[in-house]
Amino acid sequence: MFRKVVTVLLVALIINLAGVRLAYADSREEKQARFAEKIKANLLKLGTGEPARVKVKLRDQTKLEGYISAAGEEAFTVTNRKTGVATTVAYPQVKSVQGNNLSTGAKIAIGVGVAAAVIFIILWFTTGPGSD
């Protein structure tokens, strides 16, 4: 009986270790390619022009700040607002990106919140305790 239990536990352990090994099978290049695709999707979502402000940190520790003046399939261009210098960056060179503009959903949520606050204040003063 003891041998059967030990055998089943060993088989379960081997299967578990094989599954963990498969989970780590992605190569570094595949991970970097997936990360570059995420960066590309996020930058395309931000759009281009003056409102699309970003802070970009590259893998060589270079920092860029400005707005996205152009975004393509392989690279995007960050233009410094103060100096006007445009720098073209390939997506795989990017280590991190921080966008400074609000999404459409955030703008709508802020607008709804402000409208609700105004309505609440108007109702409070028109039907509040001191309006008898």
Same domain, 43 and 97: yes
Specify whether 69 is located in the same domain as 129: no
Q: How does pLDDT run across 114-124, given as a tens digit for each residue?
A: 888 888 888 88
Same domain, 85 and 125: no
Q: Could you tell me the pTM of the whole model?
A: 0.56
Q: How many CA atoms are closer than 13 Å to the CA of 16, on its beta-carbon side? A: 6
Q: What is the predicted pLDDT for the residue at 132?
A: 52
Residue located via tokens 């970009």: 56
Residue 93 φ then ψ, to 5°: -75, -15
Residues 34 and 92 in one domain: yes
CATH number at 50 reads 2.30.30.100
Using CA atoms, how far residue 92 sits from 10, 25, 118, in Å, is 43, 21, 47
pLDDT digit string (tens) for 21-60?
Answer: 555 556 778 888 888 888 888 888 888 888 888 888 988 9
